[in-house]
Amino acid sequence: MGTCHIGHDCKLGDGNILANGTLLGGHVIMQNHVHTGGGVAVHQRCQIDSYAFVGGGSMVVRDVPMYAMVTGDRAELCGLNLEGLRRHRFSHDEMRKIKQAYHKLFMIREGRLEDRLALVESSKEMMSIQAVARMIDSVKGCLGDNRRELMHGLLELSIADQNCALKVLRMNITHER
Active site residues: 8-9, 26
DSSP 68-118: EEEETTTTEEEEE-HHHHHHTT--HHHHHHHHHHHHHHHS--SS-HHHHHH
The CA distance from 4 to 41, in Å, is 10
Please state the φ and ψ torsions of residue 163, each to the nearest 5 degrees: -60, -40
Query: If we measure between CA atoms, which residue out of 53, 77, 120, 94 comes closest to residue 176?
Result: 94
Find the DSSP H helices in the chain. Answer: 82-87, 92-106, 113-121, 124-127, 130-142, 159-176
Residue 28, amino acid: V
Burial label, 122 (beta-carbon count in 10 A; 0-12, 13-18, 19+): exposed
